[in-house]
Amino acid sequence: MNSSSLCFNGQIVVKQSLIFAAEISSTRRRNTLRRVDRELFKGNHRAALSLVKSCGLRGFGAAKQIKSFNDLNMERSDILSLQLRLDLILDSIKKSFRFTSSGELSLLELESLIHRDSGNYLLNDHLKCMQHEAGHFLVGYLLGVLPKGYRVPSMYDLNQDELAGGRVDFLGLEFLEEVDSDGKSNYKPIKEKLFDETVCRILSVIIGGLVAEHVVFGRSAGLHSDVKKMYNTLKRWDFKEDEAESQIKRAALNTLLILDHQYEARSRLAEAMALGRSVGNCIDTIESALKDPFI
């Protein structure tokens, strides 16, 4: 056997070894995630989090947070395009907040918020809800916040109740349920560098759904309770208006970058969530579709 044949055969062996190793890794991951599901089902959320942290998942907490456009290594044309899309998202957030806080919008503003394409309204609403909740789930997971449960309404649910909504519940963010027009949050962190990262992470999770709608459909359906929750959260933490706007802008930019970069993972996750897959199965779906490197 000549040297070229040996080299070729060696490459085949190496390739087969890598495939075998990947299959073992995937099997171990799925087995661990089944255990995660069992712990979540029993309400042992901390045990589930410990399993997620210990099983070598690539994506959990892997997304990096940036402070501004200056941290991006991108062409000027790409930066300008990203800036335009970010401005649309921020405008959508402001309009949604104006509506939820005052209930008053001009007819043109209202139409732009709840614009629906021609066709099956029910199907459109279902698709938007799928992408919205997948946005929350994926952003939270990649920023190291464990989803512990979720709900995506079926088309039947939406047909029975137009206001039927979805949700994703996260471990450690339970305090957000206390943040409404009358409630108060006991979560009062100290404003320092670490806190800035924490604020960006929490706000990114809150607006993950709205940003996902922009990424997929080019617009948001608007009227999101998420937006009101975000502003109320910042208010409870005593952020001044200019500070709040700065934090929202940073969170929106980071969320947009995450969802842009992990487009395939978000798409597959939305399908899995629409089918009612378990949290562990949804995490496995993300891990199987991740794109490197992370931002």
Q: Within this chain, do residues 63 and 109 fall inside the same structural domain, yes or no? A: yes
Q: Within this chain, do residues 210 and 261 fall inside the same structural domain, yes or no? A: yes
Domain assignment present for residue 295? The answer is: no
Buried b (16+ CB within 10 A) or exposed e, 218-240: ebbbbebebbbbbbbbbebbebe
Q: Within this chain, do residues 46 and 117 fall inside the same structural domain, yes or no? A: no
Each residue's pLDDT, cut to its tens digit, for the chain (295 residues) gives 555 554 544 444 334 433 333 455 788 999 999 999 999 999 999 999 999 999 889 999 999 899 888 888 888 888 999 999 999 999 999 888 876 665 555 545 544 444 544 446 666 777 888 999 999 999 999 999 999 999 998 776 666 665 567 899 999 998 887 665 444 555 555 555 557 789 999 999 999 999 999 999 988 875 578 998 899 889 888 888 999 999 999 999 999 999 999 999 999 999 999 999 999 999 999 999 998 866 5
**Of the residues 56, 80, 98, which one is the last residue of a structural domain?**
56
Q: Within this chain, do residues 117 and 13 fall inside the same structural domain, yes or no? A: no
Q: Within this chain, do residues 178 and 282 fall inside the same structural domain, yes or no? A: yes
Q: Within this chain, do residues 81 and 214 fall inside the same structural domain, yes or no? A: yes
Domain assignment present for residue 190? The answer is: yes
**Of the residues 10, 36, 56, which one is the last residue of a structural domain?**
56
Domain assignment present for residue 46? The answer is: yes
Q: Within this chain, do residues 17 and 102 fall inside the same structural domain, yes or no? A: no
Peptide bond into 293 cis (omega under 30): yes
Q: Within this chain, do residues 13 and 149 fall inside the same structural domain, yes or no? A: no
End-to-end CA distance of the chain: 47
Q: Within this chain, do residues 125 and 106 fall inside the same structural domain, yes or no? A: yes
Q: What is the DSSP string of the chain?
A: --HHHHHHHHHHHHHHHHHHHHHHHHHHHHHHHHHHHHHHHTT-HHHHHHHHHHTT-SSTT-PPP-SSGGG----HHHHHHHHHHHHHHHHHHHHHHHHHHH----HHHHHHHS---SS-HHHHHHHHHHHHHHHHHHHHHHTT--EEEEE---HHHHHH-TT---EEEETT-GGGGG-SSS---------SHHHHHHHHHHHHHHTHHHHHHHHHHSS-----HHHHHHHHHHHHTT--HHHHHHHHHHHHHHHHHHHHHTHHHHHHHHHHHHTT--HHHHHHHHHHH--SSP-
Q: Within this chain, do residues 123 and 157 fall inside the same structural domain, yes or no? A: yes
**Of the residues 56, 76, 91, which one is the last residue of a structural domain?**
56
Structural domain of 13: 1-56
Domain assignment present for residue 240? The answer is: yes
Q: Within this chain, do residues 18 and 74 fall inside the same structural domain, yes or no? A: no
CA–CA dist 263, 41 (Å, integer): 29
Q: Within this chain, do residues 91 and 139 fall inside the same structural domain, yes or no? A: yes
Two tokens at 165? 């909504």
Number of domains in the chain: 2
- Please tell me the pTM assigned to this model: 0.83
